[in-house]
Structure 1
């Protein structure tokens, strides 16, 4: 199943909160701008209607049957030329008076659309948009009024420049967007801090679990909130159950080893009383049986505790102790040890590490000419374990190399088989390399043999290390 979105829970919550806040603010900005536009346009229309009736109330028919009146609308734009703010009075029908207009219109006029295109409403008013002779986009309020009892009428028009409305809307929208942007940024910061603060207990639980995995603690310890406490209790119960299973498996392995130890020892003792051919045969088979039983007991023990999060072994003290033993047993050989960094730790039992490296050291000391070189360094994840659902963990590469005769590729394949010995002149049961391979496999590691740069055999181990996440 394809994973969508970031892996971090904090990043997911922040991303969703940011996306929702941004979408909400955009929608709010659009809605408020639309509402303000409607309000501004309605207010502009009401203003023109009020000005229209002011003009109507200011004009009458004089004694010489002429239109008389001087509307004072209280707006200087009606007296300034080419502003788009005009008032016009035109006689209708047989009323042949001279039209009146504001000084701002000059000798120009505004085209009048037909009643079919723009009809009057129930208040006998109509509003329409047009362009004046100066290129101004204007809104015109128009009505027709009967001026006296003889039925003489005139058309009254008042226009206003729509650029005023658009500029007002732009100013408001600009201020609105700035305010919402500042509010959105502040909300994002506050939300981020609130989310990070709310998720702190999860980070504390992760650090507590990391301490358990590094064997620095046996249980999840901490003051967790109510929502996380059941999870912490379940994990602690799982750790306790895991520990009991491991202890029970170890006890059963010890009981089995103890029950088989005596019969095998009896067989070995009885082999001494037999004639030499039969004695050697029984002895070799009993020793092989003893080694194989021990090998399978080790595998059972490793399988029982392999999934434990408590297994941890420091590499430096174990390797130094093995090297000291090998130097005492082989005073004529040189043993070199390099661990970088010295804090390397493996996620495996100490006795498994000792048995694995010890077998390789014994083989290297047996066949080397002058010395053995042991190295331990961090290593990348083995191929095939990257990504996916594989758990995050570190790896350690250990190498044991000698300057002996080495092995050819076909000899390496033969040496890896259980019980096979390529050099019968050397002591041993032929189980060392197969045991190393089995223990490494149980820990899902890698074991390889090759010819090293010094000409001898190089044994390479890739073993799970202890993950040390940044605090």
Structure 2
């Protein structure tokens, strides 16, 4: 079963982390930028306080009209940029033109060791202000305080504009990084695709083993696949050897029993003769099945479908000269992905059965067909015989029912065909033919390509 794509998962995992990281980065940079602006604003306000203190000292009076700041923002009403001077009694004795019609609230924090305090306040217009206040003591003037404010709304707007620009820039960077991540994932997983192609080459018969140089993370898997192939070959060879030994070990005792019972006309002799004959047939059947299973378990074999069918057609035409044998193989017919002897066994049994039942004509054809997205070899055998009813067709296709039980001399017949079709993962169907008899269709796996 296939479950998603590793590259797709890696892409979305990296993209998700990129989104979270870049969004957090945008807000972090915005916060750092805002703090930098506030520090810069505080330095500016402290500079203005020093300027006002110096001009107060020059004027020798905190209420002098000569005290002021040239910055035009302190002349524009409700600008948020204000200054005012309190005497030691807390009374406002001087203020900027911008403060006309506006009252500033007092800071609720205490003065530090430098006689300075700062904080955020609001004016009567609801504007947020950054305020810095300092206690100043001058000779011949006495003690007074100077407060200067700057408009935080401007800073908030600048911070918001910076955040929007940062998000746009980081979004572009994120897209670039996401594309790069996708390319890296594809490049890294390309090695797995190479391994898949190497395994497919073994299955298709293009190579005996998984060949190629792979990264250290994938190389052990390729080695295990090759070891599995080697082990599978050894098991098959041992099975073949054991099947041969069993065949030789059983044939001789059975032959001796049949020879002894052949001249014995008693009931016991006849029973022994019948049962040993049945035993020989059963042993032959299952030994042939074992050979088939062992032979078809070998990966990497393929056969030229057109050549095999043409050869079978010529042989059957010579053996059954009384029938018209027609063979039609399309040029696009793919090679069979399996053993050539197995293809001959399947097609040969079907042709033999057709020749037994046909009245005068048999047709053998082959072509390429695509089923469930897979290329397959489509072989059709038709005759003009009596055919089979639906009930007979269902019975014949049932496992364990052999065609040779109905027509003598066919050996394993259809049972062998069904065994081989099942081993190769193919399909076998029967239906009525346009010729009037039976139409048998074989669907077998196609090889990727023929021999070079």
- TM value normalised by structure 2: 0.79
Q: Which residue of 1 aligns with 2:363?
A: 372
Change (3 A) 1:216 1:335: same
Q: Deviations over 1:45-97 (max 9, x none)?
A: 33223323322332269689943433235x33334455332323355749685
8 Å Cα contact 2:317/2:325 also seen in 1? yes
Cα offset for 1:212? 0.9
Summarize the alignment of residues 70-469 of structure 1 with structure 2, pairs less than 5 Å apart. Answer: 70-72=67-69, 75-89=71-85, 93=89, 99-102=94-97, 105=98, 107-109=100-102, 111-113=103-105, 118-122=108-112, 123-131=115-123, 133=125, 137-143=128-134, 153=144, 156-257=146-247, 292-331=282-321, 332-339=323-330, 341-346=332-337, 348-369=338-359, 370-381=361-372, 395-416=376-397, 418=401, 427-429=408-410, 431-466=412-447
Are the counterparts in 2 of residues 299 and 442 from structure 1 also a CA contact under 8 Å?
no
Please state how far the C-alpha of 1:228 moved relative to its aligned partner.
3.2
Do 1:418 and 1:430's aligned partners in 2 also have CA atoms closer than 8 Å?
A: no
Residues 137 and 161, structure 1, Cα contact 8 Å, conserved in 2: yes
Instruction: Give yes or no for contact 1:295–1:435 (8 Å, CA) kept in 2.
Output: no
The whole-number CA distance in structure 2 between the counterparts of 1:172 and 1:204 is 48
Counterpart secondary structure, 1:43: helix
- Call closer, same or farther: CA 1:223–1:378 in 2, change over 3 Å: same
Q: In structure 2, how many angstroms separate the alpha carbons of the residues matched to 1:3 and 1:439?
A: 27
Contact kept in structure 1, 2:329 and 2:367, CA below 8 Å? yes
> Residue 120 and residue 325 in structure 1: after superposition, are their counterparts in 2 closer, same or farther (change >3 A)?
same
CA change 1:40–1:127 in 2 (3 A) is: same
Tell me the distance in 2 between the aligned counterparts of 1:169 and 1:161: 13
Evaluate the alpha carbon distance shift between residue 27 and residue 294 of structure 1 in structure 2; reply closer, same or farther with a 3 A threshold. Answer: farther
Deviations 1:328-371 (A, max 9, x none): 2233323243447322423x322222112211111122222433
SS of equivalent residue, structure 1 residue 458: strand
Which SS does the other structure have where 1:372 is aligned? strand
SS in 1 for 2:317: helix
Residues 110 and 117 in structure 2, CA contact (< 8 A), matched pair in contact too: yes
**Aligned-partner Cα distance in 1 for 2:91–2:198:** 98
Question: Deviations 1:172-192 (Å, cap 9, x if unpaired)?
Answer: 334433443444344444444
Is the contact made by 1:368 and 1:403 (CA closer than 8 Å) also made in structure 2? yes
- Give me the CA root mean square deviation: 4.2
Write the distance in 2 (CA, Å) between the matches of 1:446 and 1:274.
Answer: 48
* Compared CA separation, residues 264 and 188, structure 1 to 2 (3 A): same
Q: What is residue 49 of structure 2 aligned with on the other side? A: 52
Structure-2 change in CA distance of 1:242 and 1:64 (3 Å)? closer
User: Would the aligned equivalents of 2:104 and 2:123 in 1 still touch at CA under 8 Å?
Assistant: no
Whole-angstrom CA distance in 1 between matches of 2:414 and 2:55: 116
Cα–Cα, structure 1 residues 18 and 152, in superposed 2: closer, same or farther, change >3 Å? closer
Query: May I ask how many residue pairs the two structures share in their alignment?
Result: 441
Cα separation, 1, equivalents of 2:104 and 2:217 = 73
User: Is structure 2 residue 24 aligned with structure 1 residue 27?
Assistant: yes
CA distance in 1, matches of 2:294, 2:92: 115
Q: What secondary structure sits across from 2:328 in the alignment?
A: strand
Question: Per the alignment, do residues 314 and 293 of structure 1 end up closer, same or farther by CA in structure 2, a change over 3 Å counting?
Answer: farther
* SS, match of residue 221 in structure 1: coil
Distance in 2 (alpha carbons) for counterparts of 1:220 and 1:438:
29
**What TM-score comes out, normalization by structure 1 length?**
0.76
Q: Give the whole-Å Cα distance in 1 for the aligned partners of 2:177 and 2:131.
A: 45
Alpha-carbon separation, structure 2, partners of 1:373 and 1:264: 40
C-alpha distance after superposition, 1:161-211 (max 9, x if no partner): 223312432343344334434443444444444444444433332222221
Query: Are residues 55 and 167 of structure 1, via their aligned partners in 2, closer, same or farther at CA, if it must alter by over 3 Å?
Result: same
Aligned mates of 1:196, 1:322 — CA distance in 2: 48
Q: Is the contact made by 2:333 and 2:368 (CA closer than 8 Å) also made in structure 1?
A: no
Does the 8 Å contact 2:83/2:99 carry over to 1? Answer: no
Equivalent pair of 1:60/1:67 in contact (CA under 8 Å): no
- Within the candidate set 61, 64, 67, 1:67 is matched to 64
- Which one has a larger percent helix, Structure 1 or Structure 2? 2
Distance 1:159 1:63, change over 3 A: closer
Segments of 5+ residues of structure 1 without an aligned counterpart are 382-391
* Shift, 1:107, TM fit: 3.4
Q: Which runs of 5+ in 2 are unaligned?
A: none
